[in-house]
Structure 1
Amino acid sequence: MSKAKEMMVSTPRRKCLTFSIIGLITLAVVLGLALGLTLGRDHSQAASGAKPKEPEGNPYPSPVAMNGTIPNNTDNVTLDPSLIRRESDGKLFLFTTGDTDAPNGTVWTADSLYGPWEKQSQPMVDKESGAPQVYNVNGTYYMFYQTHTFNYSSIGVTDPEADQENHSASIFVRTSTTMEPGSWTEHGRLNITWEQKYNQLDPSLLTIENTTANLAHYYLSFGSYQTGLYQVPMADPPVELAANAMNQTVHLEQNATSIADSQDMTEASFQYYHDGYYYLFFSSGICCPFEKSWSQAITDPYRVMVCRSENPRSDFVDKDGTDCLADNGGTQILATHKGVFVPGGQGIYDDSVEGTILYYHYVPTNNKTDVIEKGYRFGWNKMSFTDDGWPEVV
């Protein structure tokens, strides 16, 4: 707690005043001094561990305004977006998680990030899917996505937890040269071993340009809640795991204190390289303010965090140097603010037109409890790096 500065107050007296008036003035001075001392104290953190008040105004920039219909839905169609621009003609594709009415995912297209966006009539894939990430690798587009209902007993997993929601998830990969409907080739499930310590959700691909004997060309990160985020090497081309990949799986990040209280859990990893550093973006908190979890989302709202390392496989720290695996590190770069509730499910894209951007989903609100529209909306902002190499939303 910071020390309040105390000021002594003196009040001049006029000799012509009567004794009674002098007494009143004296009393006023005493009361004023007491009140001044009380108001002069800093009570913003009166209780140990109390959460600081949210800053007034708008601590983060609002999502960039878009023309026409902003990708959204009354459910969670724009949850976990993936954005990419087609190299041949500059057409933008936005791939998003499916919902109850459209479980196979949704695709939006536009010629400009500012819109207008058009929702495509055909689904993203021909099965229940979510959290897609699409990358251009040497002219071929790779989509990594998850399903929540893989039958692990079919490959010999007997643990009953493998049948539980999210813990039954698995990651698949498909490729296309155009991203048009009907052009995708399925390559099947990535053979990541089922384990209790992680969920196979939210895949993200990292490409290593200058490989060495100790570094593969591609790495896939994944994980959601449980014990955080993991990474596994991929083959070249990245349509399957590298040989002996599971023995080379590494643990990238976790919030160890959250395991007991289910607060500040992490997911939605996104790997990104910039100027000598490997950045690990992720979402922390309660993602989905459905009726059953709205109060939780208010007390522990989803937000975008980042850690970085010079090594793509370990030693990630936050801006303060706190270890992101051992000591719950992570630097917040986007959180709930005016008109924006629970932003997350983020990605970074180096756009040929607008430059580097951060894109994400969020719930539009007037405040934390007054929802403008049910469900999620797509948002984006430009992103830059400080002189010491930390990303910030601009």
Structure 2
Amino acid sequence: MNIFFGTLAILSASGVRGYALPGACSGICTNTHDPSIITRNGIYFRFSTGGRIAIHIAPNITGPWTYKGPLLPKGSIINLRGNQDLWAPDVSEVDGTYYLYYSVSTFGSQTSTIGVAVSNDLENWTDLGSTGITSDPSKPYNAIDANLIDVNGTKLLTFGSFWNGLYQVQMQTPPTSARTGSTPYQISHNQADKAMEGPTVFRNGGYYYLFFSKGSCCGYDKNMPAAGKEYKILVCRSTSPTGGFVDKSGVSCTSGGGTVVLESHSGWVYGPGGQCVYDDPVQGPILGYHYVDRRIGYADGQKRFGWNKMDFSDGWPVV
């Protein structure tokens, strides 16, 4: 037996956390920040940060992935700095229409807006501009990294990055703007370490799982974080989609809780994060993310698309 993989098997069997390697990926798998996955008519669509939201398609989650072009070729109609460098796409289908949320901001800034574009086919998109969810230094949150969940007709948008953690707001129907009178409320926070962002709420069984990324996301080739401070993916869960999230030890997500789902491992998978969670029609629940392959390089443009199946059989997601 290969000594390296034999050691992984022993560690897993002994209860020490081990992780599966990223699933196979062919075609264009590099420079894929913050991936969001959905399928239509058997075709996989992958949206990612950069290139005014890059669209890639494939016949399978494994690829081969090919480039289709930018989602918004002219950038966003939102009149805000950063409207040509759009971040953190999140795509959902609601009543036959596809909604893709994106962020307009600049790195390290709290002056941000969540925008939305709509489509009937995932290829041709109409930019509707701002959802009305904005932030500035007077607010406790940062309006980026949006994720939509539809709970029996109630649309909830979860968002946030650093500052005072992750927030949620109820949306109108259709979900192009926040519901009148709905004020964003906090669902996750860590006072000691505010490096929390990119929420994803996913329902499985009787629980709603709040996935989020934590740590240093970017610029590893210029400023390598201390060991363990790089990106990783954590989770809390609740029987309600609107709050009460706790980790596996029972610690509230608003008090710094979070159980690790995926982190650097295997000697070469480094800083996984920017995740999406998708109930794949073939694979079942999958975790999509970007990561650095230490064997290739640490630059942001070298980040790879990663994905893994998730097992919820014990009530908590295991990669």
Task: Give, in angstroms, the shift of residue 186 of structure 1.
Answer: 2.0
SS of 2:253's partner is coil
List structure 1 runs of 4+ shifted beyond 4 angstroms: none
Query: Which has the greater radius of gyration?
Result: 1
| RMSD (CA atoms) | 2.1
Does 2:41 match 1:111?
A: no
* Equivalent in the alignment of 1:7: none
The one of 242, 247, 265 aligned to 1:337: 265
User: How much does 1:84 deviate?
Assistant: 0.6
* In structure 2, C-alpha distance between the alignment counterparts of 1:105 and 1:340, rounded to whole Å: 25
**Whole-angstrom distance in 2 between the partners of 1:363 and 1:168:** 28
Letter matched to residue 228 of structure 1: G
Q: Distance in 2 between matches of 1:144 and 1:291?
A: 29
Matches of 2:139 and 2:222, distance apart in 1: 25
CA distance in 2, matches of 1:355, 1:109: 19
Report the alpha carbon displacement of residue 336 of structure 1 after superposing the two structures with TM.
0.2
In structure 2, the partner of 1:29 is none
Q: Cα–Cα, structure 1 residues 188 and 297, in superposed 2: closer, same or farther, change >3 Å? A: farther
| Cα distance in 2, alignment partners of residues 145 and 253 from structure 1 | 21
| CA–CA distance in structure 2, aligned partners of residues 325 and 335 of structure 1 | 21
Question: Contact 1:71 / 1:108 at 8 angstroms: preserved in 2?
Answer: no
Q: Structure 1 length normalisation: TM-score? A: 0.70
Mapped to 1, the partners of 2:289 and 2:108 lie a distance apart of: 24
What secondary structure is seen at the aligned counterpart in 2 of 1:391? coil
CA separation of 1:179 and 1:62: change in aligned 2, threshold 3 A: same
| Structure 2: gaps (5+ residues) | 1-13, 76-83
- The CA distance in 1 between the partners of 2:187 and 2:291, in whole Å, is 25
Out of 281, 288, 291, which is 1:359 matched to?
A: 288
Q: Which residue of 2 aligns with 1:282?
A: 212
Structure 1 portions without partners, runs of 5+: 1-54, 150-163, 212-216, 260-264
User: Higher helix fraction: Structure 1 or Structure 2?
Assistant: 1
In structure 2, the residue matched to 1:171 is 114
Shift of 1:187: 1.9
Instruction: Name the aligned partner's letter for residue 188 of structure 2.
Output: E
Determine which structure has greater relative contact order: mean sequence separation of CA pairs < 8 Å that are 6+ residues apart, divided by chain length: 2
- Asked if 2 retains the 8 angstrom alpha-carbon contact of 1:287 and 1:297, the reply is no
How far 1:139 sits from its partner (Å)? 1.3
Cα separation, 1, equivalents of 2:202 and 2:297: 33
Report the alpha carbon displacement of residue 275 of structure 1 after superposing the two structures with TM.
1.2
Tell me, yes or no, if the aligned pair for 1:285 and 1:297 is still in contact at 8 Å.
no
* TM-score of the aligned structures, taking structure 2 as reference length: 0.86
- Aligned pair partner of 1:71 in 19, 24, 29: 29
Look up the SS of the partner of 1:325 in the other structure.
helix
CA deviations over 1:8-52 (Å, ceiling 9, x no partner): xxxxxxxxxxxxxxxxxxxxxxxxxxxxxxxxxxxxxxxxxxxxx
Aligned length: 292
1:138 pairs with one of 95, 106, 116: 95
Match of 2:78 in 1: none
Indicate which of 183, 189, 196 corresponds to 1:254. 189
Q: SS of 2:133's equivalent? A: coil
Question: Following the alignment from structure 2 to structure 1, what is the Cα–Cα distance between the partners of residues 306 and 226?
Answer: 19
Provide, for residues 327-386 of structure 1, a one-character-per-residue CA deviation record: whole Å limited to 9, x for no partner.
x110001000122100001111111122111110000114xxx73776211010111103
Deviation at 1:70, TM superposition (A): 4.1
Aligned equivalents of 1:267, 1:66: Cα separation in 2:
26
Work out the CA distance in 1 between the residues paired with 2:58 and 2:44: 5
Distance 1:177 1:63 in 2: 31
Q: Is the 8 A contact 1:205 1:218 kept in 2?
A: yes
Deviation at 1:165, TM superposition (A): 4.2
- Superposition map of 1:1-394 within 5 A: 59-67=18-26, 69-73=27-31, 78-86=32-40, 89-98=41-50, 102=51, 104-120=52-68, 122-125=69-72, 126-127=74-75, 128=84, 129-148=86-105, 165-180=108-123, 183-194=124-135, 195-209=138-152, 217-246=154-183, 249-259=184-194, 265-294=195-224, 296=225, 298-326=227-255, 328-338=256-266, 339-366=268-295, 371=297, 375-387=302-314, 389-393=315-319
